[in-house]
């Protein structure tokens, strides 16, 4: 049995809002989903307020902050508009992500190395307000060095390429992507960064990545909301928690 602290599970409820917005109105309510996820063992709630408000909206963020007992992780682009909203909302954490209007989801990591000058003011203003800043980056040493230079205390490693390769049955590519994530997590810890991971995780990939002791938090959304259709959100979160604990025991 591992004596590491339990791996934290942040449940991303964006796609509950996607379903709500498909019809307009209030159902299903992402705040209700957040409360159900916490009841089932989520350690935090993640929500992404996109520039186009395609799923989470401004009042969802405010209602989430008011309603939940666990930390709120506010995902956002590092724009002046979003920084102002985050400063008003005062979440526990902000995860800065790249954003392109036409993308279906957050396709790649932030170019922290190429955009240091643009990111620095956002990181500094959020940190001054006591918000824990995380940068969503690829498993790339250049990006990790840039995150450390920007004095972001946390990185979230983009696991999308690994999860896609695993889901498509491309074993060699998946193994190479996993090794990249493992090496990046080690490098980031040596640089004093807290390491989170997310994007595209399911029960199997969450169990596998839970075995990396450097990783202390996973943020998982789309798969859990999809599973909730079949089992309900509470059971999906509990099964995810069990998969993560099983993987962690191997760390």
Nearer to ligand PXP, 2 or 70 (CB): 70
Binding mask 158-197 for ligand PXP (x = CB under 6 A): ----------------------------------------
Q: Does 222 bind ligand PXP (CB under 6 A)?
A: yes
Give the chain as a DSSP string: ---SPPPEEEEE-HHHHHHHHHH-SS-S-HHHHHHHHHHTT-SEEEEE--TT-SSS-HHHHHHHHHH-SSPEEEEE-S-HHHHHHHHHH--SEEEE----TT-SS--S---TTTTHHHHHHHHHHHHHTTPEEEEEE-S-HHHHHHHHHTT-SEEEEE-HHHHHHHHTT-HHHHHHHHHHHHHHHHHHHHTT-EEEEESS--HHHHHHHTT-TTEEEEEE-HHHHHHHHHH-HHHHHHHHHHHHHHHHTT-
Q: Which of 17, 31, 48, 217 binds ligand PXP (CB under 6 A)?
A: 48
Q: Does 221 bind ligand PXP (CB under 6 A)?
A: yes
Q: Which of 136, 162, 178, 203 binds ligand PXP (CB under 6 A)?
A: 136
Nearer to ligand PXP, 2 or 19 (CB): 19
Active site (catalytic) residues: 48, 75, 199
Note the residues at the interface with ligand PXP (CB under 6 A).
Answer: 12, 14, 48, 75, 95, 97, 105-106, 136, 156, 198-201, 219-223
């Amino acid at each position: 049995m591992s004596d590491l602290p339990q791996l934290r599970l942040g449940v991303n409820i964006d796609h509950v809002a996607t379903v709500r917005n498909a019809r307009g109105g209030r159902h299903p309510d992402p705040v209700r989903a957040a409360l159900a996820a916490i009841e089932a063992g989520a350690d935090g709630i993640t929500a992404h307020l996109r520039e186009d408000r395609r799923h989470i909206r401004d009042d969802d963020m405010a209602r989430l902050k008011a309603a939940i007992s666990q930390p709120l992780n506010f995902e956002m682009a590092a724009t002046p508009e979003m920084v102002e909203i985050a400063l008003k909302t005062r979440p526990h954490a902000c995860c800065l992500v790249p954003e392109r209007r036409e993308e279906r989801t957050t396709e790649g990591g932030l170019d922290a190395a190429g955009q240091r000058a643009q990111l620095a003011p956002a990181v500094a203003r959020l940190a001054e307000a006591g918000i824990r800043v995380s940068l969503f980056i690829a498993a790339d040493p250049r990006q990790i060095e840039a995150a450390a230079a920007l004095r972001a205390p946390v990185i979230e490693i983009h696991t999308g390429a690994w999860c896609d390769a695993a889901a498509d049955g491309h074993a060699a590519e998946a193994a190479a992507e996993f090794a990249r994530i493992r090496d990046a997590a080690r490098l980031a810890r040596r640089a004093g960064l807290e390491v989170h991971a997310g994007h595209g995780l399911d029960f199997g990939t969450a169990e596998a990545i839970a075995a990396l002791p450097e990783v202390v938090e996973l943020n998982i959304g789309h798969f859990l909301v999809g599973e909730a259709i079949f089992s309900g959100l509470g059971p999906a979160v509990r099964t995810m928690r069990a998969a993560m604990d099983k993987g962690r025991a191997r760390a």
